[in-house]
Amino acid sequence: MTRTKPFQGEFSSNKLAIWIQTLRPLTLPAAIGPILLGQALVLPSHFSWLTACLCLVSALALQLAVNLANDLFDGLSGVDQPGRLGPARALQSGLLGVSELRVGLLLMLGIALVTGAWLALFGHWLLWVFGGLALLGVLGYSGGRSPYANLGLGEVAVWLFFGPVAVLGSLLAQQSPVNERAIISALLMGLPVAAILVVNNLRDRFTDARAGKRTLAVRLGPRATRWLFSFLTLGPWMVSLPYSTEVWRWGVWSCLGLIGVGLNVVFWQRDGAALNPVLGKTALYSLAIAVWLILRFA
């Protein structure tokens, strides 16, 4: 018996599922954590819920734009190959076309531009610089003639945008003073987010090398890359000891350390496609670090 033509509702559901998979919602905690931390550091007299929401929308739009840009540019450049170990890419699998991904990318960038322009107009002038750098970061990671991911600079860029730019940008958007606590928090926050990319690049090091994409994992090799992951995940925890003798703070800090050690045990024991679940767990761990830094510094 031949299958009848699907109802429009069934087709829409399938298309929606494809877009959700392509947008990679499991990566969103990496964008949420830095904004929460930044807003928590804003002085109460400067805080605005509207500005806080716009900061979050802008960060989420930029994260989704990065995901779409990687799918599009890696597919066009041939980096995504049939032997890819990560989740299926929409362009490589033929689930979405080039024009569809371009429209989605432009939509996400448009949302980021509109919200970012509003924040810059009513915030600090440095937000124009941060916004321009963020757009270049989205498009330059895997796009253009010389993507900076090919130069082994991906982790550095992630640390910069999800640490200093996101956290300090939140304060500047609220016109709140930037103090020493905010700077320390911003420097620490970007580290566990960069660890997400370390997992991704370790998993893809063989296919990246064949495609001429010389990520940090390709350059360092697996052992040094694993040590880098340990530094990025456990470093922020180790240097942010509780400042008081309150038992509950030490309890939270200790639990976070156990989670971090457990994450590292799993990461060191796995390779290839088995690292895929570690990506989402590392993103959630970065959110947990953000919550701890709020408790520690806010």
Q: Which pLDDT tens digit goes with each residue over 204-222? A: 999 888 888 889 999 999 9
- For residue 150, the model assigns a pLDDT of 82
The reported pLDDT for the residue numbered 212 is 82
- Residue 168 burial (CB count, 10 A): 24
What's the whole-model pTM score? 0.89
Residues near 115 by Cβ (< 8 Å), separated by ≥ 6?
54, 55, 57, 58, 61
For residue 80, what pLDDT is reported?
64
- 127-164: per-residue pLDDT in tens? 999 999 998 888 888 776 778 888 889 999 999 999 99
Is residue 11 scored above 90 in pLDDT? no
Q: DSSP string of 49-76?
A: HHHHHHHHHHHHHHHHHHHHHHHHHHHH
- 95-99, 167-171, 260-264: segment of lowest average pLDDT: 95-99
- For residue 68, what are its two tokens? 């779409």
Cβ neighbour number for residue 91 with a 10 Å cutoff: 20
242 has pLDDT over 60: yes
The rounded distance, in Å, linking the Cα atoms of 96 and 90 is: 5
For residue 91, pLDDT over 60 is answered with: yes
Write the CA distances from 195 to 35, 157, 168, 277, integer angstroms: 18, 12, 20, 14
Q: Supply the mean pLDDT for the chain.
A: 90
